[in-house]
Structure 1
Amino acid sequence: LPKIHRNNFKKVSTNNSTCDLYEHQNTAMILLPVFYSCILIVGVLGNGLALAVIFKNRKKINSTTLYSTNLVLSDILFTTALPTRIAYYALGFHWPFGETLCRITALIFYINTYASVNFMTCLSIDRFFAVVHPFRYNKIRRIKNAKYICIFVWFLVFSQTLPLLIQSMSNEEGERTTCMEYPNFEKIDHLPWILLGACLLGYIIPLEVILFCYTQISCKLFQTAKENPLSEKSGINKKAINTIIFVIVVFVICFTPYHIAIIQHMIKKLKYEPSCSEQQTFQKSLHYTVSLMNFNCCMDPFIYFFACKGYKRRIMKILRRQVSISVSSAARSAHEESSRDLGAHMTVLSKS
């Protein structure tokens, strides 16, 4: 048998033919490492700054800040898995780090996904109670109860993701080893139903809850503004609407493309065996929609900006300081330049 070249992948058998699911590897080897490198840099800087601000204002912590803090921790945990993923894509879908590390990075990836969705949902519900029922359900927003909710969310996240540690995540294909790729999961029984159930619990239900909260908040603000025009200037109302709008934007941009790709392909698999071109399109869409889903790590700091007053003030203070430093540096440079010009002019006059 001829030796398999390092750039060739195992081809999936489909209707007595072969189907290369990694035909886009040459493009992906460039685009995905660059994209994930940007996510790593922006994610570390943005979430690191958010964590520093939250730590400095820890005495003023409330339910909103607590949910935001858990989002920060989830994103920072996720960035620890990015260097190996960047290397994996740069090597052309080759994982040289072993099965154990593949499972750990997969666990971190799914922890970030489910934690982000759940804590964004908690933020939306928190804003809903703050605006629509500010007194009736005030106990739910107490910091003690919010801590219990966070513990429950993490328990839910780990119960969804820990089974991944007993599931093989890597697969040897020729001289390469792929990690956390969809073909590696196809041997699981009833996979379409499992993934559709995961989409229902991890995307559809949270999205419906967030949209419900947004609708109720909008109606409440409209009604309040109609009864009392001065209420439109309320900081709480403005913060609530900005927070939940941005949460919806993150959901639409980051999570929707991936889940739509999963849902439509799983429905196809329940009806018939997808053709080679359909499988190739799905595999390609997974790589790019997953990277888009991971982009939420960069967008979460904007949620903190809208939701947490301390974070917003700190950012604006840093920006003002940078502007003042730049202005003073420019003024000092201009002064020094004018002084040099004046000295040169006086020297010319003295010589004359």
Structure 2
Amino acid sequence: MAANATVNRSSCALVDFDFPDQLLPPVYILVFIVGLLANMCGLKFLQKNWKKVGPVNVFVFNLGLADILYLLTLPFLIVIYVNGRRWIFGEAFCKITRFCFNINLYGSVGFLTCISVFRYLSIVHPMRVRGRLTSTHSVVISLVVWLLVCAQSLPDMFFPKTYSKNASCFDTTTDDYMEDYLEYSVGWTISGFCLPFLVTVGCYAHVIVTLCRSSSTDRLLKQRSYKLLLVLLLLFSVCYIPYHVLRNLNLWSRVLKRRGECYGWFNAVYVSKQVSRCLVCLNSALNPLVYLHVSEEFCSQLRTLRSRTQSAFSGISRTPSQSPYFLVLLVSYGTMEANATANRSSCALVDLSFSDKFLPYVYILVFIVGLLTNMCGLKFLQKNWKKVGSVNVFVFNLGLADILYLLTLPFLIVYYFKGRQWVFGEAFCKITRFCFNINLYGSIGFLTCISVFRYLSIVHPMKGRGRLTSTHSVVISLVVWALVCAQSLPDMFFPKTYAKKAQCFDTTSSDFVEDYLKYSVGWTVSGFCLPFLVTVGCYAHVIVTLCRSGSTDRLLKQRSYKLLLVLLLLFSVCYIPYHVLRVLSLWSRVLTRRGLCYGWFNAVYVSKQVSRGLVSLNSALNPLVYLHVSEELTSQLRTLLSRTQNVFSGIS
């Protein structure tokens, strides 16, 4: 590690410290406008209907109050980043501004946890708490939350926030106190975020189980509970989790840098942390979604307002030259051109060596784990071939697609360890990339087939009984292979190597990048978006059917829920980030070729390499599908696990 640090000391210079100046001000402006309007509307509604306010709405009121408090400090932060991070309002006000952000962040987490606990008590234990959950209790609990949040955030104000040499306003502290701040940050993350998050997850997991089991629960209550759960998942997964992980990683990188150790991942962590700061401040604009799902009256008022707004705008002439939207486009384009001219030197900041340091180790892990798990799954299917049902034919093809890709990984590992020097010829380079593509889109295709067959067997059991045979599955599998090959084949006609450099591109050379971008967008829509929508639609209908039915077998319900979680994991971790970032990376290369450079190019490139590592994980994660379509394989794995434990327990 020390040797690696010595070699990579120059990599500290790659950290793009100008990135927040370009990213944060527009986001803060957007959050300030949207958040202020949304929270003011919500608080105005609560003020008008104060007599009807229930226990949960007290927490919603405090949530809005925390948002307003932070939003009022955003104009000062916009000024600092527009002025090149020069703080002109004094250190005391800098600390107050950061304090407002912290109490907004942890206050939001705290009040969302309170809402979750009150929902849990009123749905899971309605008889025990009837008449006991009053507004007085909510007010007292809210005061306790404010006190705890202030107590947690107060130590942050004792850390220096400005340099005497440079009038900046740090969101953490100066380098001299970095090690102490890292220890404080870790404890703060555990007490202020992890514990409330676990309580929230536990409460809503129990609530969903209770609602699914009960057939007498009011349908409107179920819908509002599901929607509120989705809002909370959105807030935690988009705003809170990335910020806390990346804040601590960034602090750790600064500690290492202070100790004289530098690594190539410092820039990626720094840039990602700035993106997470944007995402976490979005909570002030997203929190008002909670209003919608705790008050039906507020929802109806918003619908009325929306219909009036639509009626008003329908009378406006939409001539392009008179359209405000057209003016916005002109201003945006002018700003973009000016920004591009100013930032042409930023193209040099792109850390092209990141993939050499990151991808080989991910590929080694995927190769070992993926090969073992897929071979075990295919061996089971071979032994039990006579018992194979319709769905298991798709699982077999899923495993086949994984094995095909995994066998090409050793060549890619060699390629990245040799500093992206491809020694196996262009033909084999194209074959390797083709295998990756048919694995990726074959996996998506067969997962979609599994979802459709599950949907038919659960939602329409009488119609599908006796008609969903293994022969149908084999024919459909052949069609999937044919479609995937047809989609992936054009990729092989694009050049994959340079004459000057023996590289093996995963997309194509810069000369053909514009054509490849068009192909990639169409490929993403047909190969990913459409199957994804079908999968989501099928499983949404399956879950609704299972929740409504009181006679459905409990084991079938459990397996369906688990398979849904596996599919969500695969799509959210592996497939969605890769497709979004691939298109963005190609677009950045098109802009570079046109002579336009932006500060976000490096962040997109690094993120795209991370997404390539994540998408390759699908070959190691796909075997989870085996466990949830075959109970026999699950029982065999449990037996193997118990035997392994017995063997190890007998060893001294």
Shorter-chain TM-score bucket reads 0.7 to 0.9
Structure 2 counterpart SS, 1:179 = coil
Aligned to 1:3: none
Q: CA deviation at 1:30?
A: 2.6
Pick the aligned partner of 2:231 from 246, 251, 273: 246
Q: CA deviation at 1:129?
A: 1.0
Q: Per-residue displacement from partner, 1:70-129 (whole Å, max 9, x unpaired)?
A: 010000111111011111111222212211110110111111011011001111111111
Pick the aligned partner of 2:142 from 139, 145, 150: 150
Aligned to 2:274: 287
Structure 2 counterpart SS, 1:136 = helix
Q: CA deviation at 1:310?
A: 2.8
Letter in 1 for 2:29: S
Q: CA RMSD in A?
A: 2.8
Native 8 Å contact 2:249 2:269 kept in 1: no
Q: What is the TM-score with the length of structure 2 in the denominator?
A: 0.44
**Is it true that 1:172 corresponds to 2:164 in the alignment?**
yes
**Is it true that 1:218 corresponds to 2:208 in the alignment?**
yes
**Is it true that 1:206 corresponds to 2:196 in the alignment?**
yes
CA–CA separation in structure 2 for the residues paired with 1:182 and 1:165: 10
Letter in 2 for 1:308: S
Letter in 1 for 2:144: F
Pick the aligned partner of 1:32 from 24, 33, 44: 24
Q: What is the TM-score with the length of structure 1 in the denominator?
A: 0.79
CA spacing shift, 1:185–1:139, aligned 2, 3 Å? farther
CA–CA separation in structure 2 for the residues paired with 1:190 and 1:27: 26
CA–CA separation in structure 1 for the residues paired with 2:311 and 2:89: 47
Letter in 2 for 1:217: V
Q: Per-residue displacement from partner, 1:118-177 (whole Å, max 9, x unpaired)?
A: 00111111111121111212355211111110010011111112333333211234xx32
CA–CA separation in structure 1 for the residues paired with 2:31 and 2:181: 30
Letter in 2 for 1:119: F
Aligned to 1:121: 113
CA–CA separation in structure 1 for the residues paired with 2:14 and 2:101: 21
CA–CA separation in structure 1 for the residues paired with 2:232 and 2:197: 10
Native 8 Å contact 1:88 1:94 kept in 2: yes
Native 8 Å contact 1:94 1:177 kept in 2: yes
Native 8 Å contact 1:64 1:308 kept in 2: no
Structure 1 counterpart SS, 2:126 = coil
Structure 2 counterpart SS, 1:94 = coil
**1:10-89 mapped onto 2 (5 Å cutoff):** 23-89=15-81
Q: Per-residue displacement from partner, 1:211-236 (whole Å, max 9, x unpaired)?
A: 111110111001102xx4xx352x23
Native 8 Å contact 2:12 2:264 kept in 1: no
CA spacing shift, 1:218–1:94, aligned 2, 3 Å? same
Native 8 Å contact 1:192 1:269 kept in 2: no
Structure with bigger gyration radius: 2
CA–CA separation in structure 1 for the residues paired with 2:175 and 2:191: 19
Structure 2 counterpart SS, 1:209 = helix
Native 8 Å contact 1:71 1:116 kept in 2: yes
Native 8 Å contact 1:242 1:306 kept in 2: yes
Gaps of 5+ in 2: 317-652
CA–CA separation in structure 1 for the residues paired with 2:170 and 2:311: 48
Aligned residues: 310
Native 8 Å contact 2:38 2:288 kept in 1: yes
**Is it true that 1:195 corresponds to 2:195 in the alignment?**
no
**Is it true that 1:320 corresponds to 2:310 in the alignment?**
no
Q: Per-residue displacement from partner, 1:11-44 (whole Å, max 9, x unpaired)?
A: xxx9796886795344432321111100000011
Aligned to 2:246: 261
Structure 1 counterpart SS, 2:174 = helix
Gaps of 5+ in 1: 1-13, 331-352
CA spacing shift, 1:269–1:137, aligned 2, 3 Å? farther
Deviates most, 295-304 or 177-186: 177-186
CA spacing shift, 1:271–1:97, aligned 2, 3 Å? closer
Native 8 Å contact 2:15 2:270 kept in 1: no
CA spacing shift, 1:26–1:163, aligned 2, 3 Å? closer
CA spacing shift, 1:156–1:60, aligned 2, 3 Å? same
Deviates most, 188-197 or 249-258: 188-197
CA–CA separation in structure 2 for the residues paired with 1:66 and 1:183: 34
Q: Per-residue displacement from partner, 1:154-204 (whole Å, max 9, x unpaired)?
A: 11111112333333211234xx32212445165155333221111111221
CA–CA separation in structure 2 for the residues paired with 1:107 and 1:140: 35
Deviates most, 181-190 or 262-271: 262-271
CA–CA separation in structure 2 for the residues paired with 1:61 and 1:22: 53
